[in-house]
Amino acid sequence: MPSFDIVSEIDLQEADNAVNQARKEIEGRFDFKGSQSEIQWDKKEVTLVGDDEYKMEAMKSILQTKLHRRGIDIKVLDYGKIEPAGGKMLRQKISMKQGIDRDAARDILKSIKDSKLKVQAQIADDKVRVTAKSIDDLQATIQLIRQGNFSVPLQFNNMRS
């Protein structure tokens, strides 16, 4: 039976490139001269360290722009609280969500079931697998999901016929 998976994944190489571009822009910007603001990246989360609220917001905006230009949806960012980091510095942790959480998976399943398409959908770990008797039903399901507004960015892979 034909099937495909609905997933939410991040291209970590593109994320790494975006973070490096954001670092370079911050180093070269006039409003950051003499500041100790920086962006730290450990492949799972980004940490912004800045002198004040203005610089924190500017760094967040730069990072979002660079990620968007690299094709990474901003919905993957999960912002932590801005907290003091010693001295007059501030710190904010931003994690990048990978995989579909249970609530989003339930929303996807409900959307598919409400559409009355002749497909079966089930949650498998951090993805949703959709099977059907015809490829046309699967393609209709993909169109349905693309039109939906879900809390995570979605991709489609493992199309098997």
- DSSP state for residue 152 in the 8-state scheme: S
Q: Based on the domain organization, do 91 and 16 belong to the same domain? A: yes
> What residues make up the domain containing 123?
3-8+100-160
Q: What CATH number should be reported for the domain holding residue 134? A: 3.30.70.860
Q: What CATH number should be reported for the domain holding residue 48? A: 3.30.70.990
Indicate the number of domains in the chain. 2
Q: Based on the domain organization, do 91 and 106 belong to the same domain? A: no
Q: Based on the domain organization, do 111 and 80 belong to the same domain? A: no
How many CB atoms neighbour CB 145 within 10 A?
19
Q: Based on the domain organization, do 38 and 105 belong to the same domain? A: no
Q: Based on the domain organization, do 76 and 23 belong to the same domain? A: yes
pLDDT digits (tens, 9 = 90+) for 54-70: 999 999 999 999 999 99
Q: Based on the domain organization, do 26 and 85 belong to the same domain? A: yes
* Cβ-contact 44, 96 below 8 angstroms: yes
Q: Based on the domain organization, do 37 and 65 belong to the same domain? A: yes
Pairing type for strands 155-160 and 3-7 reads antiparallel
Q: Based on the domain organization, do 88 and 111 belong to the same domain? A: no
* Cβ-contact 77, 61 below 8 angstroms: no
Q: Based on the domain organization, do 140 and 92 belong to the same domain? A: no
Percent residues over pLDDT 90 in the chain: 46
Q: Based on the domain organization, do 64 and 89 belong to the same domain? A: yes
* Helix and strand numbers, DSSP H then E, in the chain: 4, 8
Tokens standing for 69?
Answer: 């230009």
Q: Find the Cα–Cα–Cα–Cα dihedral 144, 145, 150, 152, rounded to 10°.
A: -170
User: In this predicted structure, what is the pLDDT of residue 126?
Assistant: 87
Which residue has 């770990």 as its token pair? 125
pLDDT digits (tens, 9 = 90+) for 68-99: 999 999 989 999 999 998 888 999 999 998 88
Q: Based on the domain organization, do 135 and 114 belong to the same domain? A: yes
For each of the chain's 161 residues, which pLDDT tens digit applies? 888 988 998 889 999 999 999 999 999 989 888 888 999 999 889 999 998 899 999 999 999 999 999 999 998 999 999 999 888 899 999 999 888 888 889 999 999 999 888 999 899 888 999 999 989 988 999 999 998 888 888 888 888 87
Tokens standing for 148?
Answer: 């939906």
User: In this predicted structure, what is the pLDDT of residue 41?
Assistant: 92
Q: Based on the domain organization, do 106 and 69 belong to the same domain? A: no
